[in-house]
Chain A
Amino acid sequence: MNGYQQVEILLVEDSAPDAEMTLRTLKRRGIANSVEWVRDGVEALDWIHCRNDYATRPNGHPKLVLLDLKMPRMDGLQLLEAMKADPFTRSIPVVMMTSSREEGDLLASYGLGVNSYVVKPVDFAEFAERIAQIGMYWMIANQTPNSP
């Protein structure tokens, strides 16, 4: 369709400052042109499945889902579980981006099949660098199947 731009990254993040910094970085580095930001897992699922508030969005999977762990309502692990259990969404790469370096969270995430787990650095410069790296890799180097 004309004017349609596929959403490349779905950012699931409840903290507005974190979201702002992430979006800013992605934009300034020109990594992703189209990023959708939702604030928790429920919204994320609605968006992915094109229902409720997002019933009217154009179909199509994102190339990447950036996911925070701690969120209200449905948190990162629950969303991850839901996405990996559903054949419809299983193939979408999910990168966990979170402040927690706890072994428990790592184990749980990998147990559920997360594609990558990244710790958000406190230092902003490092943070930006890391976002850029992630974006570069998953957008350009990584291959995903065409959406069903």
Chain B
Amino acid sequence: MQEAVTSHSAWRHWMWSAGFALALAAVSLLLAQAYRTARHADAMRQFLVHTSRVLSGIQHLETLAARLEADQRGYLIAGAPALERVRDAEFEEALRVCARLGTLLARDPAQSQRLKAAEHALRQRHARMRATSQVSATQGLPAARAAFNAHAPESATAVRNTLAILRKAEQQRLAGFAATAGSSTRNFNGVLAMGSLLALATLLFCCAALWVQMRRSEALQAALARDVAEAQRAREQLQQSEQRVRQIIQTASDAFIAIDDEGLVQKWNEQAERMFGWTRAEALGQPLAELAIPERYREAHRRGLERYLAEGRGAVINRRIEISAVDRNGNEFPIELTIWPTRTATRISFNAFLRDITERKAAQDAIRNLNSELAAQARQLSETNRELESFSYSVSHDLRAPLRHMSGYAQILREEAGDRLDAPLLRYVDEISASARRMGALIDDLLAFSRLSRQALTPIPIDMNAVVAEAMDDAGLTQNPQAHIDIAPLPAAHGDPVLLRQVWSNLLSNAVKYSARLGAHARIRVEGEREADKVRYRVRDNGVGFDPRYADKLFGVFQRLHPEDEFEGTGVGLAIVHRIVARHRGQVSAQSQPGRGAEFVFELPTDPAEEMRA
């Protein structure tokens, strides 16, 4: 709205000025013209009066001249001296009229001349007439008549003519004047019309301007009303939000305290009351130092305040600080606080949110303790691991050497003294070798088993068919012509391929081993299925099976359910299978009937991410 007002004002001023000037011009023009016309009309009126006086004077003169003639004739006829007297009186009258006319025509030299001529002619006529009177007196009337008629015409004509000329001249003037009066009237009408038009135009312009102005002022008013309403709304909103903020601070779960530049409390919310035990009434206006700050910090507080006021910066401003506070009863407790300054034009005050962190600190300490315990335990575990590591290492190296020697010397003995020993003695030698071999196998298996627990398990999506194929290679079964090993397409799983290969290798070797007696009739079937949350794999054989009453021993270390001389083995294979599957968070189980083969089943949980993709 502001803009609308200012942007048009220059143009508008120009328009207004032009309008006014125009109006003024029109009115002035009209006034001037009216005045002129009035003056002119006046002049005309005066002239007409004058001219009519003149004309009436001239007419009187002419009438008098005619009367004179009539009187003369009358006298000449009657010879009465009364008529002479009348005639002379009329002549005097005529002279008087001439004198009056003379005054009237004083300013018109031409007319004055003519008047003089007329007067002269009149005098001459009268003189003639007087002359005839004399004649009459002397010679009698008929002689007077004859004398008068002899010279009468010229002087009578002269009188008539001069008067006529005078009259005509005056009438001409009148006519001329009438002409100019007409044109002047036409002028005036024209100017009047133009002036009226101008005035009308100006009036229209003013109306239009006024109308526009009114519209604008309406719009401005509307805008103003809107602005006022908005301002009102804004004020209300501000009030509401101030109200809200006040409420928030009041009920905040943190204590809110404000102090002025002297350290006196200005604001103290409910939580502050609870935290420190001083009510708001008690706290306002008091130095904060005495209400809440432990003695040993009061000096620092005061100095910090001074420094901020002097230099405009402070070490504790706008940072989270942990410090001790003290309540009404003198109990100290740890708090976390943030201080920030606010300035108004005249004052500065410091606001702070405070939080009692006693619990948090306790929790932190507890966590720290737990952590150091954990760290100690972890250290211990890794120590144990290291010991195990070197133990395995020793085992793998140092235990094997004597075994090798045992086996070696037994063999050498056989080679050297073979022909000197009979069968039973030779068998003893062979037993020594066999035992050494067996112990080596045990050591290997034990080492493998122990390494399993320490090995990292890296689960990835795996193609189980590929893993089984590799396991078959490992177990040396790929080219086994004896047993029929039938592997169905297997569902994919999520796990460590290296470890799972070992599982398959062990399960398949077992299946082959325990059905080897059947020769070509041995049947081993491998299949798998996927379920909602797991994948299951089965290895089934039709070998000797095992007694299900001892199934719980199946997966124990060094546990066997068959005698060594029937089926060789260390009893670690299934323990390894169990350990690996357990590390995958899966399950392994076995079912069997003696003489009817066995079925080993292991399940692996599916990866949730994979489930979503699938």
Tell me the A residues contacting B by CB distance below 8 Å.
Answer: 15, 17-18, 21, 24, 69-70, 98-102, 104, 120-125, 127-128
CB pair B396–A124 under 8 Å, yes or no, is no
Check B397 against A70 for contact (C-beta < 8 Å). Answer: yes
Q: Roughly how many angstroms separate A99 CA and B444 CA in the complex, as a whole number?
A: 12
CB <8 Å contact, A122 and B396 = no
The verdict on B73 contacting chain A, using a C-beta distance below 8 Å, is no
- Give complex CA distance A140, B411 in Å: 27
Q: Which chain B residues lie closer than 8 Å to A123 at the CB level?
A: 407, 433, 436-437, 440
Q: How far is the CA of A104 from the CA of B398 in the complex (A)?
A: 16
Chain A residue, CB-CB nearest to B443? A122
A17 to B433, CA, bound (A): 15
| In the complex with contacts A101-B396, A102-B393, A124-B401 CB distance below 8 A | no
When C-beta atoms are compared, the residue in chain B nearest to A28 turns out to be B415
B394-426: which residues lie under 8 A (CB-CB) from chain A? 396-398, 400-401, 403-405, 407-412
Cβ-defined contact, A124 with B411, below 8 A: yes
Q: Kindly list 7 other residue pairs between chains A and B, CB separation below 8 angstroms, not including A17-B408, A18-B401.
A: A17-B409, A18-B404, A21-B412, A69-B397, A102-B393, A104-B393, A122-B437
Contact partner, A122, options B403, B409, B412, Cβ 8 Å: B403
Q: Which residues of A contact B396 (CB under 8 A)?
A: 99-102
Kindly provide the distance from the CB of A67 to the nearest chain B CB, expressed in whole angstroms. 14
Residues facing A in B419-449 (CB within 8 A) are 433, 436-437, 439-440
Contact indicator B433/A124 (Cβ below 8 Å): yes
- Cross-chain pairs A/B with CB under 8 angstroms, 27 sampled: A18-B404, A21-B409, A21-B412, A24-B412, A70-B398, A98-B397, A99-B401, A99-B404, A100-B393, A100-B397, A104-B393, A120-B400, A122-B400, A122-B436, A122-B437, A122-B439, A122-B440, A123-B433, A123-B436, A124-B407, A124-B409, A124-B412, A124-B433, A125-B411, A127-B404, A127-B407, A127-B408
> Nearest residue in B to A68 (C-beta to C-beta)?
B401
List 7 tightest A-B contacts by C-beta distance, closest first: A122-B440, A124-B411, A124-B408, A99-B400, A17-B405, A124-B407, A100-B397
Residues in A whose Cβ lies below 8 Å from that of B433: 123-124
| Min C-beta distance of B247 to chain A, whole Å | 70
Chain B's nearest CB lies how many Å from the CB of A19? 11
**Least CB distance, A77 to chain B, in whole angstroms:** 13
Within 8 A of A (CB), among B375-397: 393, 396-397
Distance between B605 CB and nearest chain A CB, rounded to angstroms: 30
In angstroms, Cα B409 to Cα A100, docked, is 21
Given contacts A21-B412, A24-B412, contact A121 B404 (CB under 8 A): yes
Please give me the residue from chain A that is nearest to B399 by CB atom.
A99
